[in-house]
A and B are shown apart, each in its own frame.
Chain A
Amino acid sequence: MIHLIIYKLELAGSFYSWRGAIWIITVASIYSLVAYLLLTDKELSLLDQSEMLFTFSQIIVVLGLLMSAINSSSAISTEIEGGTLECLLLTPIKHSQIAIQKMLSTETIWIILYLISIPYTIVLANGTNLAIPAILYV
């Protein structure tokens, strides 16, 4: 599968550049803040635990979508701005393959963000058996 090389490059590029690292740090910070507020804030901590988990799951989904939209568009725009797209288009790889591989790398980062959210979900579901349903819901 020669086309996986673009996927690998994109993924490596995400972690060598600001994109992937910043997303992971930002999302982990947001998860921490939201989980902390849900557990310690006077009003938020009064929420039913299932409702608390549902709110947290919604935040995970929204952040994932936001990251995907921004990362997908920047994956192509940075190639155009950096002048690297022309070289990529000169190779005998179909344009659709380039787009698919780039999209897959974005989805991979989404999965990483999702994996980061699992410990937070487990902590929020502490004392109940809602952790696995909440993880599966996301």
Chain B
Amino acid sequence: MYGISTVGIGKTYGSFRAVDSLTFNVKSGDIFGLIGPNGAGKTTTMRMLCGTLTPTTGTAFIAGYDIAKENVRIKTIIGFLPESTGFYNWMSGEEYLYYFARLYDIEEPIARKKVRDLLDRVGLAGRAFAPVAYYSRGMKQRLALARSLINDPKILFLDEPTLGMDPRGQQEIQKMLSDLNLEDGVTIFLSTHALTDVSTFCNRIGILNHGKLIACGSLNDLRNLLNDSTSIFVRILRNQETASRLAHPPFKITIDNVTEDSVDMIISDENIELDEVIDWMRKQNLKFTELRQQKMNLDEIFFRLTKPSNDKDSTLITVNKSRSPQVGQSSSRL
């Protein structure tokens, strides 16, 4: 069963098309990451799915409920953490959560217990009775996250959940979200610019650009979309003969970095095996200190897929060319 299913959902503001006919599915229990440049339509998509914005075209189903017809029921089973949440600054954190618990019609004793548990869970138990006005940016974000969990949501929408948090706080929140997903089976729909988090945390990723979903699938699916073949990273010890030994390699080699003692290179031939590389280095009497297979990361995939249309050569490729000329072109560097 799908936790989230959209059918041509779109939003236009006058002649501007903020979100253009999105169709995708997120299975129950999945962690789906929606990424894209600023203004791509991520927040608009989330707001439409949460029912705070009415779509211009199409519709969506949250846990099987139509967002156009069963809006109130959907609100009882979802939690949404907007990118910028407002607070009643005169309230304490405890009062703030209790207020929302009561809005979800949670009985008073249960609400009190739930509020205490959540404050403890997000690490705010020690500041529960301090006015929200005195909270730091990260603390407010934790409080907002606790608010989004007050109704024990089945589907959680998070827009930049770790914004303004310190690294330890980010780690704690990721752990908490991971536990929610694994233990309670909560479907998580995440929008963030922290691509490393998305690649490690999400099992499916959607890339939005100019309101259109340009790619959707697992990280490997996205790699396949770009015909990414596995490359091999090798760090060899540098000596006077290194340049001549690397002069006519049997593979496509790119020099990535050169220091006084070592040379980093990337072997990017298709279907190349580690054994072949090791054999070749032995024959050439090249001593390596590091050897590993590497795949295209989400940052590279993102830059390639969202490159401006007038830029024939992507930013990534330009960076690679400047940093990693071919062996034949860079013998002087060695």
Contacts and interface: CB of A to CB of B under 8 A. Distances in A.
Interface residues of B, number: 23
Contact of A90 (B50, B86, B88): B50
Given A86-B52, A86-B82, A91 B88 contact: no
Contacts of A17: 90
A92 B82 contact: no
Given A83-B84, A86-B52, A87-B147, A93 B90 contact: no
A2 B99 CA distance: 10
Contacts of A115: none
B261 to A, nearest CB: 54
Interface stretch (A5-13, A56-64, A67-75): A5-13
Nearest to A81: B86
A5 B80 CA distance: 21
Contacts of A87: 82, 85-86, 100, 147
Interface residues of A, number: 21
B103 A84 contact: no
Interface in B121-154: 147
Given A2-B105, A89-B52, A9 B76 contact: no
A90 B84 contact: no
Contact of B102 (A2, A16, A88): A2
A9 B96 CA distance: 10
Given A2-B105, A90-B75, A92-B76, A84 B99 contact: no
A127 B102 CA distance: 51
Interface centre among A5, A84, A87 (most CB of B within 10 A): A87
A17 B133 CA distance: 13
Interface in A74-112: 79, 82-94
Contacts of A92: 72-73, 75-76, 103-105
Given A2-B102, A90-B75, A91-B104, A13 B86 contact: no
Contacts of B251: none
Contacts of B88: 9, 13, 82, 84
Contact of A93 (B84, B85, B103): B103
Contacts of B86: 79, 82-87
A5 B72 contact: no
Nearest to A89: B52
A39 to B, nearest CB: 39
A105 to B, nearest CB: 14
B103 A91 contact: yes
A4 to B, nearest CB: 9
Contact of B90 (A16, A79, A90, A91): A16
Q: Which 4 pairs across A and B sit closest by C-beta, in order of nearness?
A: A83-B86, A84-B86, A82-B86, A91-B103
Interface of B: 50-52, 72-73, 75-76, 78, 80, 82, 84-88, 90, 99-100, 102-105, 147
Interface of A: 2, 5-6, 9, 13, 16-17, 79, 82-94
29 contacts: A2-B103, A2-B105, A5-B99, A5-B102, A9-B88, A13-B88, A82-B86, A82-B87, A84-B85, A84-B86, A84-B87, A86-B52, A86-B82, A86-B85, A86-B86, A87-B82, A87-B100, A88-B103, A89-B51, A89-B52, A90-B50, A91-B100, A91-B103, A91-B104, A92-B75, A92-B103, A92-B105, A93-B103, A94-B72
